[in-house]
Copies of this chain bind each other. A is one copy, B any other.
Amino acid sequence: MDKSKRYLIVGLGLLGGKYALELTRAGYHVDGINRSEGHLQYALDHGYIQSGKTRDFEDLVRQADHIVFGLYPTTFLEWFRVYGKLLKPGCIFTDVSGVKTGLVNEIQALCPPGVEFIASHPMAGRETSSVEHAAEVNFAPANFIITPTGKNTPAGIAWAKELAQVLGFEHICTLSVEEHDRMIGYVSQLCHAIAVSLMCANDNASLSEYTGDSFRDLTRIARINEKMWSELFLWNKANLIAEIDQFEEALQQLRSALAAGDRDGLERIFRLSTERRAAFDKKER
């Protein structure tokens, strides 16, 4: 990527902050726009960005060669409806949103001529939020998903890949918007729905004394950023409901075998699970 290009991060949260940090470390010029003065100052103090504004930021937008929107989808759309027209021809920009349907096509339709939105999703970031935790995020083992549409160009996609490499991602791949949202419904959102439900199912204040690894593993993600996740869930509602229903069906099958005292049935279910998990483990290496 061209080091003379000016980068702009809009939304210096956990991921926006981490992108700024890595791009600056790699020698790029990075400016920031953020609603909160305090977090903007934090980013400046830590050298994540070279300059930043909370308002009257139109010039920063006009000058940017590349922009990363570290905003939740709803906020991103609202912002773009107002300021999107300021992006200069040739600007290629991306986002970090965990859901793509309802976002990518809409933003692309609002782009001025010569401006390209190549959407992407960094599947990273634990359940912390805020730029103050940005330095703790590790991109190396995480998946970076690029979600191009018919409106994207080879140059746009290439830029997104290079960006991911500069950021430190070792696993970069491409999915359509629809494939991405179906995938995320299962591998991420359903998991969060399950972890949260498990945590809420039982008034388990006394149980921490007795837990083993299995409970800890399943509820690690039950500490959940409620604002972000309710938004992502609602944006991907249809897919997530389908995944919840499919999961319920599998659990009901297990419950039925259990209720019927069907040992063979249970063992069949367990064997299938073990085979799939083993295949999954193999692929990961």
A217 contact from B220, B225, B247, B249, Cβ within 8 A: B220
Whether, in the assembled complex, A251 has its beta carbon less than 8 Å from a beta carbon of chain B, the answer is: yes
Whether, in the assembled complex, A248 has its beta carbon less than 8 Å from a beta carbon of chain B, the answer is: yes
Q: Are B196 and A269 in contact (CB under 8 A)?
A: yes
Whether, in the assembled complex, A55 has its beta carbon less than 8 Å from a beta carbon of chain B, the answer is: no
Q: Are B270 and A226 in contact (CB under 8 A)?
A: yes
Question: Which residues of B are found within 8 Å of A274, using beta-carbon distances?
Answer: 222-224, 226
Segment at the interface with B among A63-71, A158-166, A234-242: A234-242
Known: A240-B258, A251-B244, A280-B219. A270 touches B194 (CB 8 A): no
Q: Are B276 and A204 in contact (CB under 8 A)?
A: yes
Q: Are B200 and A183 in contact (CB under 8 A)?
A: no
Known: A222-B276, A237-B258, A267-B230. A250 touches B197 (CB 8 A): yes
Segment at the interface with B among A12-20, A22-30, A185-193: A185-193
Q: A197 vs B256: C-alpha distance in the bound complex, in angstroms?
A: 13
Closest to A244 in B: B255
How close is A99's CB to chain B, nearest CB, in angstroms?
A: 13
Whether, in the assembled complex, A108 has its beta carbon less than 8 Å from a beta carbon of chain B, the answer is: no
Q: A172 vs B175: C-alpha distance in the bound complex, in angstroms?
A: 50
Whether, in the assembled complex, A150 has its beta carbon less than 8 Å from a beta carbon of chain B, the answer is: no
A188 contact from B191, B212, B230, B258, Cβ within 8 A: B212
Q: Are B246 and A258 in contact (CB under 8 A)?
A: no
Question: Which residues of B are found within 8 Å of A192, using beta-carbon distances?
Answer: 214
Number of copies: 2
Q: Tally A residues with Cβ within 8 Å of B.
A: 88
Known: A211-B187, A233-B258. A218 touches B200 (CB 8 A): no
Q: Are A277 and B200 in contact (CB under 8 A)?
A: no
Whether, in the assembled complex, A215 has its beta carbon less than 8 Å from a beta carbon of chain B, the answer is: yes
Question: Which residues of B are found within 8 Å of A243, using beta-carbon distances?
Answer: 201-202
In the complex, 19 of the A-B residue pairs with CB atoms within 8 angstroms, ordered by the A residue number, are A171-B209, A186-B202, A190-B198, A191-B217, A191-B218, A192-B214, A194-B194, A194-B218, A197-B250, A205-B276, A217-B217, A217-B221, A223-B273, A224-B274, A226-B267, A237-B258, A240-B258, A241-B255, A244-B251
Nearest first, the 4 closest Cβ-Cβ pairs linking A and B are A226-B270, A208-B283, A197-B250, A230-B266
Q: A interface vs B, CB < 8 Å?
A: 123-124, 126, 142-143, 145, 171, 173, 175, 183, 186-188, 190-202, 204-205, 207-215, 217-227, 229-231, 233-234, 237, 240-241, 243-251, 253-255, 258-259, 261, 263, 266-267, 269-274, 276-281, 283-284
